[in-house]
Amino acid sequence: MRAAKQKLAQHAHAMVMVQREGHLARQRSDTDDLQLLMAWLMPGTTKYQVGRLASALQDVHQNTAKLEVVATPEEDVQHLLSLVQLHKMEWVLEPSVGTGNISKVLRAAGVKVLTNDVNPEHTAELHQDSTQLEFWERLQADGGVPCVVCSCWFRLLDLMAPLATHYAQELVCLHVPPTYVTTATLARQKWLRELADADRIALVTGLSTGALGRRCSWLLISRTAGGWRRFIKDEAPSTVAWIPLPVSSPD
């Protein structure tokens, strides 16, 4: 993890220069480039949905310090730890640290965490833009990311979720609103269905009611078929519910 942190810091200036050159999918607040990127990450994403993502990215890039930050309840992170053995990971990346509740609870449980946040006012080891493809490419070039635990701005989930899923070597734990699965767009439904058909995804429910009066969930997404099951504790508390998303039966 230390090597990854040092190399990422060394590459920060180079990353900015690459972005300024306008390479495809680097400055993704540009709608045309974002459309191409989403066609790769989540095929079927409509122009309207890409426009909404582009608007959210513009807010991130231009109004970083003014963005509202909603803290992830510490109870939700403890809920995750009561089920998933994250301490088995070499280290964990939190790409959007925000108030720091996730990393605080993980570190208290003995999990090694590398934190990042685009907002320099937030306490993190790195201050880079995790919505940029180059951020993940550099991590991969420097040895890769074993695991991602993320509660990003919900407006960016359709970008961050497939990015993290593509690059994480073992597991992704995504903190998502209750509607992310139940009222998914057609493109997201297809993406989730493909993960479910491959036995790569499970839904963790029963979390606390957050500051906005809603109960979120954790999505567990593994690199390999059934890989997420290797990290589930043999004796999870009865208050923790995890649900493998349906696997389609053979025709």
pLDDT in tens, 62-73: 876 666 777 899
Spatial distance between the Cα atoms of 218 and 230, rounded to a whole number of angstroms:
17
- Assigned token pair, 225: 């078929």
Per-residue pLDDT, 4: 57
What is the mean pLDDT of the segment spanning 73-102? Answer: 94
Does the pLDDT value for residue 47 go beyond 90? yes
Per-residue pLDDT, 194: 95
pTM of the model: 0.85
Q: Assign 244 a pLDDT band (cuts: 50, 70, 90).
A: confident
Per-residue pLDDT, 218: 94
Per-residue pLDDT, 21: 41
Q: What's the per-residue H, E or C state across 117-164? A: CCCCCCCCCECCCCCCHHHHHHHHHCCCEEEEEECCCHHHHHHHHHHH
Per-residue pLDDT, 215: 83
